Structure 1
């Protein structure tokens, strides 16, 4: 019952100074809402990237060659015959102007691929056919276009068997991709695919320095990674620094590590506001002790013990911080929801919300203990003399 009376008295004192109490809580509200918003948006961003990496499949190896001379198609075919490898899909990036008829056209990402690329990347065709080995052998001027390219160039017409210009040359559209969206910074809907041999001719280079390798099963990933590295080192006479063979799992582990570091960084930055808010609480409580010195003297002269005064002011500081904490949490969740409407991904964690609320309680105890102790140590006779 004594605790309930103390809580009611604390609430009465807080209500009697509404503006001061609100300004005192402001630092905590900003700090806690900042923690929730920044960590939520940071977590959402890294979760999106992680899901994009995972969507490639954990049985995929990404190979990059940084030597002067890359692989040939025959060497890629030889690589795909290694034990544990299901298929290899080389690709080469080329930038070229894509247009239809006499239109000006626009610069798009043109990717040279073979027949395995769509299967490895889990892309599907909405119409037409895939690139065949005949297209590769003949360096055929054919292409597959993404959904956005199809809409921009042909509106609602069927683009299959029609002609577009790539780099000033005519290419026949043999297929269109279903809408894929953006993944890992690559927007397949705005992409044009052509035979890798044709792309090499367009770029003036016959080297293959990038490819995906799909393993026969997920259990063979580590074995296949080592076998691929050894093959590249032997074939290209390359060092470990000149080749890169990464698994999706290693990328996921890296993203997890980055996410943890990002969350700690953002939480640390936002926690500065909490520290400032805590200092504000202590300052206001010290002012409150000074203003209520005579009240403290009267209570002590009527028999209040030192512990009663200590608990009263400590509970008042704690309630002040908890109210700020609850308001900050609600504000943070509200701002996070608004951020989602603006296109950001906001992923809030109950653990972070709980930690933020607990931190508010800790601030109330830590920064309230000194004013409370100072109030409890006042001499009742001297306190009664105060005006």
Structure 2
């Protein structure tokens, strides 16, 4: 009986092809929209997480606090409380630390021959590459000897290299930073765009001592980047760093920190929570069209029951029971949901690929989203098909046979 009911349902749908397609359209669009929207949301999440992870593995960042003058606190990072010796003490005294890299930075106009470019110049140490997961593509990075000697050497990002030298090899060339000559010894491997939309390749790295004494005329550092041994110990390292710096800066219990310690784990967790919420919202908005499709199924099934009233009466007169009529129309509604779901899956996957190709967005097809959308489409067909099917099954056979 089940096989026969499926055959009857398919024949009924094929007998009204246009009406059946229009009925399934709501389910098709709904399933496709759910899959496409969730793939976009998950793509955004992966892009943000990869960008944050690209800043460094198990990264902890220590920045100066805010200056307080006459009861008024200035902007965050305006203090000058951190020094290279603080970074050295962290590397020496804090356990579970792989590498520490102090940095200073400032915007400068860069000149190379008849070309110029305005970019960020960062003074740092050789450990910066390990802490920030960076690599040198061409040439080499400066050494600790260059830091001690305050050498005028520079490693430039790929954006800077292209802007100043085009397709020529920059290694060995001379650039001027604030009118001071520097020899290019390497080009960084491209890292692309950051989560905040900035160009991570638009940077020049020089020895921190050179930056402090030959360019900026400062003795403090603006950031200390720390790579913890693993993600599991990152909060313990963060607490040790805070305790060490408080002791080094002579802060008493009633005094607040003159620095800020942050880790990228909390940033990634916050970003993941935000993007997951956005993905869920997009999925719910798209799922509304599935409900509209379900209403369409109910509407068309009610029409079908009305059109086939005499047929129902004949079946009942020949011995069809309540369960047989109910199953027949319920299967017809479920078939609409199944066919609409299958076509909708193809539409959603195709739409995600088109969006990724044309708009350049990162999309991630989720098998769970596909299964959930398909199951929901079948459930919608069943739910909205129950009332029309029950109405057909409850028809009085005598009244049905008299129906014109």
**TM-score, normalization: structure 1?**
0.87
Contact 1:135 1:142 in 2 (8 A): no
Give the match for residue 321 of structure 1. 337
In structure 1, the gaps of 5 or more residues are none
What secondary structure sits across from 1:81 in the alignment? helix
Distance 1:362 1:119 in 2: 52
Partner SS, residue 262 of structure 2: strand
Contact between 1:25 and 1:324, CA under 8 Å: does it hold in 2?
Answer: yes
- 2:101 matched to 1:89? yes
- Is the CA contact (8 Å cut-off) linking 1:31 and 1:271 kept in structure 2? yes
**How far has the Cα of 1:152 moved from its partner?**
2.9
CA distance in 2, matches of 1:64, 1:275: 51
Per the alignment, do residues 28 and 205 of structure 1 end up closer, same or farther by CA in structure 2, a change over 3 Å counting?
farther
- Residues of 2 paired with 1:290 and 1:372: CA distance? 11
CA distance in 1: counterparts of 2:350 and 2:250, whole angstroms: 56
Kept in 1: contact 2:57–2:132 (CA 8 A): no
Q: Aligned runs of 1:257-336 on 2, under 5 Å? A: 257-336=273-352
Q: Is the 8 A contact 1:98 1:107 kept in 2?
A: yes
Q: What is the CA RMSD across the aligned residues, in angstroms?
A: 2.8
Q: 1:173 aligns to what?
A: 183
Give the count of matched residue pairs.
382
For 1:208-240, what per-residue CA distance to the aligned partner results, in whole angstroms no more than 9, with x for missing partners?
A: 332211235666433221111223445285746
Match of 2:59 in 1: 60
Report the CA distance shift for 1:219/1:291 in structure 2 as closer, same or farther (over 3 A): closer
1:113-152 maps to which residues of 2 (within 5 A)?
113-125=124-136, 126-130=138-142, 132=144, 135=147, 138=150, 141-152=152-163
Is the Cα–Cα contact under 8 Å of residues 130 and 174 in structure 1 kept in the other structure? no
Q: Distance in 2 between matches of 1:119 and 1:107?
A: 26
Normalising by structure 2, report the TM-score.
0.84
Q: Does the CA contact (< 8 Å) of 2:190 and 2:201 recur in 1?
A: yes
For the 8 Å contact 1:56–1:121, the answer to whether it is kept is: yes
Task: Evaluate the alpha carbon distance shift between residue 216 and residue 319 of structure 1 in structure 2; reply closer, same or farther with a 3 A threshold.
Answer: closer
**1:35-78: per-residue Cα shift (whole Å, max 9, x none)?**
11111122123223334444556443223333221312233223
* Matching of residue 346 in structure 1 with residue 363 in structure 2: yes
User: In the TM superposition, what are the counterparts of 1:110-259 in structure 2 within 5 Å?
Assistant: 110-125=121-136, 126-130=138-142, 132=144, 135=147, 138=150, 141-167=152-178, 169-182=179-192, 184-185=194-195, 187-197=199-209, 199=211, 207-215=220-228, 220-234=233-247, 235=249, 237=251, 239=256, 243-246=260-263, 248-259=264-275
Query: For structure 2, which runs of at least 5 residues remain unmatched after alignment?
Result: 68-78
Given that 1:309 and 1:375 are in contact with CA atoms closer than 8 Å, whether structure 2 keeps it comes out as: yes
